[in-house]
Amino acid sequence: MKLSNMARSSSLENRSFLLLLVLVSLAFLWVLWPYYGAVFWGAVLAILFNSLFLRLLRKMPLNRTIAALLTLSIILVLVILPVGLITALLTQEAASVYQRVQTGELSFTRYSQQIYSALPVWATGILERLGLDNLVLIQQRLTTSLTQGSQFIAAQALSIGQNAFDFLVSFFIMLYLLFFFLRDGGGLSRRIKEAIPLEAEIKRNIFSKFTTVIRATVKGNIVVAVMQGALGGLIFWFLGIHAPVLWGTLMAFLSLLPAVGAAMVWIPVAVYFLATGAIWQGVLLVAFGVLVIGLVDNILRPVLVGKDTKMPDYVVLVSTIGGMSLFGLNGFVIGPVIAAMFMAAWDIFIKSREDELPGREDVG
């Protein structure tokens, strides 16, 4: 009887402690939530540049702090400063495009009419059957979309300006955490692994998948998108198209969506060139778009992502859109990472269940 009471008491204490553990963990996450973006990007950058940190650490094995500071300095020069410069240029060009639309200098009605007039009869007939011959309505929709997009970018820039203190706090929290994630990340990951109540093999698989997915998602999606956006902006600048940084950034974002792609930006411009008699500009843009921008995805993504972490395009599309709707700009990484971890966890579960099936080893 005494042993039974002790067992019940011990079970009650364990359940109470687990409840307390869950509550304080949720409370801690609630406290961190206003700066979840800073924590997330600090962890992502630490995972991406951990190999660089380890390479520097091998050259100075007794000084992890100096190696972490050097890695942080390289990240600032290679990643953060260019992003800040591009953001400033993007804001400036978005405001310029918005002003040109408002003053009528940028008129999609005139451009649409020029393209429509240059089309052959069979093409205009197809457009009429599809209900796309109402140029005024098309112009209104395009103008509304562009205006809303420009207003969104301007509003985000204004929001950052009005909340400059919060932005700077988040930025320095990210840098601060990035330093400690680089320096102490190995020990921290071991502590987390020890605290997770799962089998050692499952924990190894999950953590391995997580780091692989983070690297593959960021390198495979962001690097490819940046390359396509940069190449698109470069050819737009060469052809004298207004606001090349804005259009390049738009191509980069569209490149994150497999069903859309950067072609949604450069194809209409190429059609306009060809329809208005700018033949060499249109041919050059088409050739560059197909042979250079289009091939970046086919060449770089398999190298950066690899076969094991390749997700179906529809999963990438849905998870990216869903992630951005929930988490804002951070969602274009968080969404695919969650989707990839979901697929990896279920894959591990299915394999473990297959191994546990009786007589499995006798099959075949």
Determine if the pTM surpasses 0.95. Answer: no
Residues 61 and 190 in one domain: yes
In a domain, 361, yes or no: no
Print the domain residue range for 229.
198-352
d(C-alpha 316, C-alpha 340), whole Å: 9
Please list, residue by residue across 75-106, b when 16 or more beta carbons sit within 10 angstroms of its beta carbon and e when fewer do. Answer: beeeebeeeeebbebbbebbbebbebbeeeeb
Burial of 286 (0-12, 13-18, 19+ CB in 10 A): middle
Residues 44 and 94 in one domain: yes
Residues 180 and 223 in one domain: no
In a domain, 169, yes or no: yes
pLDDT at 122: 59
Cα separation values, 315 from 198, 209, 300, Å: 28, 17, 20
CB-based contact 251:232 (threshold 8 Å)? yes
In a domain, 149, yes or no: yes
pLDDT at 184: 86
Burial of 316 (0-12, 13-18, 19+ CB in 10 A): buried
In a domain, 140, yes or no: yes
Express each pLDDT in 259-304 by its tens digit: 667 888 888 888 878 777 778 888 898 889 888 888 887 777 666 6
Q: What are phi and psi of 4, to 5 degrees?
A: -65, -40
Express each pLDDT in 77-111 by its tens digit: 888 888 878 777 777 777 777 676 666 666 555 66
Residues 50 and 175 in one domain: yes
Question: What stretches in the chain show pLDDT beneath 50?
Answer: 362-364
Residues 139 and 273 in one domain: no
Q: What are phi and psi of 157, to 5 degrees?
A: -65, -40
In a domain, 232, yes or no: yes
What is the share, in percent, of the chain residues with pLDDT greater than 90? 2
Residues 121 and 221 in one domain: no
In a domain, 189, yes or no: yes
What is the share, in percent, of the chain residues with pLDDT greater than 70? 71
In a domain, 6, yes or no: no
pLDDT at 70: 92
pLDDT at 276: 75
State which of 195, 224, 254 marks the end of a domain.
195
pLDDT at 183: 87
State which of 173, 195, 217 marks the end of a domain.
195
State which of 144, 179, 195 marks the end of a domain.
195
